């Protein structure tokens, strides 16, 4: 890569552009906003929306900034009368058949078209034509519906399936104003990364069936979190109700609820993409959980359960710990400092569920636990030693496969599960990733941080607190 820069003037401002960069990219680095619909950093350039037209070197014709490479001494104007007029015209053309139904559109509030129309659009349309009606609420696949009236045919979704997920699942069929996006097999848009197109869509054309009509986005606030779906540990935004609105919600639980998951762009780990399992993180986190500690299957108070656990541990001659691979590094550190010679082995909290993509070349990893690397770094990767004669095992984490021991008393610290699925001597419900903060180390050794999204129920303990009280 050449280190030389080019002098380019954008809106009377001299900037240093990098060779090979486009005008749009250079301008953005200097905080000059050039509106764009079809352009996306990670997708090929089509230059089809024409909203990014700018005036270059006083040429009579406007040029698309997204496809124009910077050249030495280029003079670009992004806000003169001709450019403003062209933007107004493009928005006028896009909106001539757009239903402008922002009031019932899930995208409202984070819609590019809405933003640009407010910022650059004409006050009033010159159209007096009735709107052309197109297919609405068309089922592209089991997860996504398409509103053709809102679609501006920017082809971002199509290019995503061709260039990123490589499923070629979407295409634009027909020609001209009749063209529309369709799945290769209608109704079968089953790409494991399909939900990315919802976020890619600059308008409300592609909608999540799961989130549809659930909540206006301005009542939600994003919290940085990490997907626990696999060892990649993608950064996500978990969207919860804004605190100030909680009081208006019907039902007490509604305020303490994650409504949807979107990607948190993290170039070190997942870039701007996320798989469908990641987009389902909030439903995954809303699985059934044990509400109260159990002693021999009977509900007990937290104090009693902790005391009973302490007694069992004191009586054990050769205890061992299976360490959760969903635990944060901070919790692992607490355990490590308190362990005092008790052998610990990595636990496999989650195994692939039926029908799940095991592994691919984009994001999905075969190991379905986010912090195995953190556990291995602290406790080694030796599997549970059945010959060591352990007489008590503390199983930290969910149990989704057969346990490596049999006929041995065990204590279960679990964020999820049902009482019948957990026949341990003592069951202690612990907090899940949504209820604490910490870090995970992904399979590449990269640290990723997550913050608490929701409040934990009263009877649920943080695992670190359980260890501390057992140690004292």
Sites of contact with other proteins (CB under 8 A): 45-51, 53, 60-62, 64, 67, 85-86, 89-90, 92-94, 96-97, 126-129, 132, 152-153, 172, 174-179
Task: Give the nearer residue to other proteins in terms of CB position, either 135 or 382.
Answer: 135
Quick one: which H or E segment has residue 462?
Answer: none
Task: Give the nearer residue to other proteins in terms of CB position, either 51 or 275.
Answer: 51
Kindly state the smallest distance separating residue 464's Cβ from other proteins, in Å: 55
The values of phi and psi at residue 422, to 5°, are: -130, 75
Task: Give the nearer residue to other proteins in terms of CB position, either 176 or 407.
Answer: 176
Class of residue 470 by CB neighbours under 10 A (exposed 0-12, middle 13-18, buried 19+): middle
Task: Give the nearer residue to other proteins in terms of CB position, either 67 or 221.
Answer: 67
Kindly state the smallest distance separating residue 162's Cβ from other proteins, in Å: 11
Which tokens sit at 307?
A: 């005391």
The values of phi and psi at residue 278, to 5°, are: -65, -40
Kindly state the smallest distance separating residue 164's Cβ from other proteins, in Å: 18
Instruction: Please list the alpha-helical segments (H only) found in 322-417.
Output: 329-339, 372-379
- Inter-residue contact 167 to 189 (CB < 8 Å): no
DSSP-derived secondary structure letter, 461: B
Task: Give the nearer residue to other proteins in terms of CB position, either 126 or 353.
Answer: 126
Kindly state the smallest distance separating residue 167's Cβ from other proteins, in Å: 18
Kindly state the smallest distance separating residue 174's Cβ from other proteins, in Å: 8
Residue from 95, 210, 81 nearest 142 by CA: 210
Kindly state the smallest distance separating residue 92's Cβ from other proteins, in Å: 7
Task: Give the nearer residue to other proteins in terms of CB position, either 48 or 459.
Answer: 48
Kindly state the smallest distance separating residue 354's Cβ from other proteins, in Å: 38
Q: What does the alpha-carbon distance between residue 464 and residue 210 come to, in Å, rounded to a whole number?
A: 34
Please count the residues of the chain.
472
Kindly state the smallest distance separating residue 95's Cβ from other proteins, in Å: 9
Kindly state the smallest distance separating residue 111's Cβ from other proteins, in Å: 16
Task: Give the nearer residue to other proteins in terms of CB position, either 45 or 145.
Answer: 45
- Cβ neighbours, 10 Å, residue 340: 6
Kindly state the smallest distance separating residue 179's Cβ from other proteins, in Å: 4
Task: Give the nearer residue to other proteins in terms of CB position, either 92 or 469.
Answer: 92
- Cβ neighbours, 10 Å, residue 152: 22
Which tokens sit at 73?
A: 């001494």
Task: Give the nearer residue to other proteins in terms of CB position, either 153 or 205.
Answer: 153
Q: Is 123 helix (H, G, I), strand (E, B) or coil?
A: coil
Helix, strand, coil proportions of the chain in percent (round to 5)? 25, 20, 55
Q: Is 301 helix (H, G, I), strand (E, B) or coil?
A: coil
- Inter-residue contact 120 to 88 (CB < 8 Å): yes
Quick one: which H or E segment has residue 303?
Answer: helix 302-315
- Inter-residue contact 26 to 70 (CB < 8 Å): yes
DSSP-derived secondary structure letter, 328: -
Strand partners, 138: 146
Q: What does the alpha-carbon distance between residue 194 and residue 212 come to, in Å, rounded to a whole number?
A: 16
DSSP-derived secondary structure letter, 218: G
Kindly state the smallest distance separating residue 89's Cβ from other proteins, in Å: 3
Task: Give the nearer residue to other proteins in terms of CB position, either 54 or 198.
Answer: 54
- Cβ neighbours, 10 Å, residue 297: 13
Task: Give the nearer residue to other proteins in terms of CB position, either 178 or 298.
Answer: 178
């Amino acid at each position: 890569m050449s280190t030389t820069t080019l002098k380019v003037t954008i809106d009377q401002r001299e900037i240093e552009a990098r060779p090979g960069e486009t005008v749009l990219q250079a301008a953005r680095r200097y905080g000059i906003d050039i509106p764009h619909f079809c352009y996306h950093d990670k997708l090929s350039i089509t230059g089809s929306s024409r909203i990014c037209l700018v005036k270059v070197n006083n040429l009579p014709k406007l040029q698309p900034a997204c496809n124009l490479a910077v050249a030495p001494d280029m003079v670009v104007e992004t806000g003169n009368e001709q450019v403003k007029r062209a933007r107004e015209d493009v928005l006028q053309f896009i909106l001539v058949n757009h239903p402008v139904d922002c009031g019932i559109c899930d995208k409202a509030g984070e819609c590019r078209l809405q933003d640009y129309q407010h910022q650059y659009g004409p006050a009033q349309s010159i159209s007096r034509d009735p709107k052309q009606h197109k297919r609405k609420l068309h089922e592209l696949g089991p997860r996504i519906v398409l509103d053709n009236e809102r679609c501006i045919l920017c082809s971002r979704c199509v290019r995503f399936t061709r260039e990123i997920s490589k499923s070629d699942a979407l295409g634009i069929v027909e020609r001209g104003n009749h063209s529309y996006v369709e799945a290769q097999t209608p109704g079968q848009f089953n790409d494991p990364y399909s939900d990315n197109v919802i976020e890619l869509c600059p308008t409300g054309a592609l909608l999540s069936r799961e989130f549809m009509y659930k909540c206006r986005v301005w009542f939600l606030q994003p919290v940085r979190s990490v997907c626990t779906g696999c060892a990649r540990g993608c950064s996500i935004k978990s969207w919860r109700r804004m605190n100030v609105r909680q009081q208006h919600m019907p039902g007490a639980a509604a305020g303490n609820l994650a409504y949807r998951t979107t990607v948190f762009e993290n170039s070190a780990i997942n870039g701007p993409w996320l798989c469908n399992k990641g987009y389902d993180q909030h439903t995954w986190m809303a699985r059934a959980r044990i509400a109260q500690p159990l002693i021999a299957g009977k509900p007990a108070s937290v104090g009693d359960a902790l005391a009973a656990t302490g007694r069992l541990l004191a009586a054990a001659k050769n205890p061992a710990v299976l360490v959760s691979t969903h635990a944060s590094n901070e919790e692992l550190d607490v355990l490590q400092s308190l362990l005092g010679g008790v052998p610990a082995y990595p636990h496999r909290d989650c195994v692939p569920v039926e029908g799940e993509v095991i592994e691919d070349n984009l994001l999905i990893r075969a190991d379905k636990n986010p912090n195995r690397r953190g556990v291995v770094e602290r406790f080694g990767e030796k599997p549970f030693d059945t010959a060591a004669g352990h007489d008590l095992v503390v199983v930290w984490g969910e149990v989704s496969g057969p346990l490596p021991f049999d006929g041995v008393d065990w204590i279960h610290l679990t964020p999820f599960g049902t009482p019948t699925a957990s026949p341990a001597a003592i069951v202690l419900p612990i907090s899940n990733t949504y209820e604490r903060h910490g870090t995970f180390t992904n399979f590449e050794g990269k640290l990723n941080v997550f913050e608490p999204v929701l409040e934990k129920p009263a009877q649920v303990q943080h695992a670190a607190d359980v260890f501390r009280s057992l140690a004292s």
